[in-house]
Chain A
Amino acid sequence: MADAVLGATVVEDREAAVASRRRLISRIVIYGLLGLISVVYIVPLLVVVLNSFRTNAEIGAMGLISLPQSFRLDAWPQAWSDFCIGGQCNGVARYFWNSVAMVVPATIISTALGAINGYILSKWKFPGSEIVFGCMLLGVFMPGQIALLPWAFLLGKLGLANSVYGLVLVHCIQGLSFTTLFFRNYYVSIPDDLLKAARIDGAGFWRIFWKIMIPLSPPIIIVTVIWQFTGIWNEYLFGVVLNSGSNQPITSALVALSMSGTTVRTYDVMSAAVLIGALPPLLVYFFGGKYFVRGLTQGAIK
């Protein structure tokens, strides 16, 4: 009797041991695969970060992917204010500020308009408002190439050719469909009864907007601002086509910079320049990652 009980527990122990070993192996496989793929993801970032602190001579001798032997900060100020792009040796500073001057107003205006439009299209429906919404949705899918010539012509007529204000206008209108979509889909889920009560109390269009809708909106405002900010900052096509020379945003400057490196490539300075260009959206991503992903999945599945 005692033997039988003992035997049973031994078998159980063995089964438990097999199960736990299998679990351990599967854990090793999972973390091993994730770790391996992560290396592929992190190496490009690491390369650009580390090489911005190495000397160009060392990069030339050891290659881009190797452990740093030297550390210096010279490349950063050089990339910022001395580096030559397209014959002008003022660094990326000017293009960086162009991007800032473009992205800040365009993000604020397109988000504000999106909030008001989304509010109207969800809570103040009028005859034909669904059709209007459908047409605005089409803007989400429009390829930039279709709009290039009309924009060039229109901005010329408005006296905004080759100016940062022109790009602000372009991004406001281009972003309108996205921001409207985001806010409309968010506001649809706010119960109408909440508004009805306010309307009985005599609250009008703007009062309801400011007192009820906006206090409920911080999540969608953050999602939209992050989406617009990263999208506009990273945009290349309009910047390179509609503006030229020192009025271009940072993305165009980065392309000009990597194309101009026909002789000796100064990887140290170019790394610093690429990082300067990538830093604003990267910071936004690392601090607002949750909202960034939410925007991404919402923007994709309409």
Chain B
Amino acid sequence: MAIAGQSVSAGTSTWDRIKKWTPVFIIAPSILASFIYVFVFAGWTFYISLSDSTLLPSYGFKGFENYVSLWTNRRWSVAYNNLLFFSLFYVTLAMAFGLMLAILIDQRIRAESFWRTIFLYPLAVSFIATGTVWQWLYNPGSGIQFMVNALGWTDFQFALTTDRKNAIWAIIITGIWGSAGFSMALFLAGLRSVDPDIIKAAQIDGASWFRTYRKVILPSIGPIFIAVAVVLLQFAIKTFDLAVALTNSGPGISTTFPATYVYDFMFQRGEIGQGAAAAMMVLAALAIVLVPYSLYLVWRRRRESRNG
């Protein structure tokens, strides 16, 4: 009897201990998977970038040679120059259009959700689908140029995707079209979070509509500007689907991006080592954007908690 009782109580305590650790056991596989995905995969690709891999991965160490040949490759210089050019116009213009749409929608308009639905639908669909349709529209023989010519303006030229120098504008335009709704959604959420009392105070002081926005509302949503810019920069660095669907890096190599460069070198040309080096550069570009941003977020949170 006593033994049985003892064993029961011992059992309960082990059972309690097991129960206490249940959550850790349950989450362990997810932690392991995430750890492998983030650290092991990145480390692996980094190692490949230092190896002599060509068509297949191989593990002969050759130091930073792949990086040297990457940075001396003309195609890579096209790729990162494209990224810089694209980022500059894509980020600023998508923000500008998004802010404009948000301000327009914020004017107590009718059927607000109807308008929002229109500007946001491109985000639900893949850039492969929207990019394919835009590629047709850019086609001078059937799309926008054809329509304008048929309307009577026969000299009108709009053939971005077949023009080496301007093909990147096709990607910028479609990129903005696809992402302006996104920055609109974030800006709108920001505008709605501004304390209505400050706006009322500004209006009582006789500030015009424009001045109220410029001096009162927009400065108070400064953090939103930074957040939108960071997310759009992230999109820009990862630009792949859009470039594939619209121009497939062409004409020639004129619209190569870092992300398409990785794909080309790894899987089309059988230069896995250099492709991996380019992939590490994509990661580095993301880190350059995201590390300062997360430090900024931490700094802001600390300041807020200090100020109560």
> Which residues of A pack against B, CB within 8 Å?
26, 30-31, 33-34, 37-38, 40-45, 47-48, 59-60, 62-66, 113, 116-117, 120-121, 124, 126, 132, 135-136, 138-139, 141-151, 153, 173-174, 176-177, 180, 204-205, 230, 233-237, 241, 251, 254-255, 258-259, 265, 267, 270, 274, 277-278, 281-282, 284-286, 289, 292-293, 296-297, 300-301
Contacts and interface: CB of A to CB of B under 8 A. Distances in A.
Interface in B181-197: 181-182, 185-186, 189
B130 interface: yes
28 contacts: A31-B109, A37-B101, A43-B137, A45-B121, A135-B31, A135-B38, A139-B34, A142-B37, A144-B238, A146-B45, A146-B279, A148-B266, A149-B45, A149-B57, A149-B276, A176-B33, A205-B19, A205-B23, A234-B129, A255-B132, A267-B136, A274-B133, A277-B126, A278-B129, A281-B125, A286-B117, A292-B124, A300-B228
B7 to A, nearest CB: 22
Nearest to A302: B297
Interface of B: 19, 22-24, 26-27, 30-31, 33-35, 37-42, 44-45, 48, 57, 97, 100-101, 104-105, 107, 109, 113, 115-130, 132-137, 139, 142-144, 146-147, 150, 177, 181-182, 185-186, 189, 227-228, 231, 234, 237-238, 240-241, 244-245, 248, 259, 262-263, 266-267, 272, 276, 278-280, 282-283, 286, 290
A204 B259 CA distance: 47
Contact of B26 (A33, A120, A145, A237): A120
A143 B283 contact: yes
A234 to B, nearest CB: 3
Given A116-B27, A136-B34, A205-B19, A254 B129 contact: yes
- For the complex of A and B, the 10 pairs showing the least CB-CB separation, nearest first, are A234-B126, A285-B124, A124-B23, A63-B146, A145-B279, A150-B41, A278-B129, A145-B262, A65-B147, A120-B23
Question: Mostly helix, strand, loop or mixed at chain B's interface?
Answer: helix
B241 A236 contact: yes
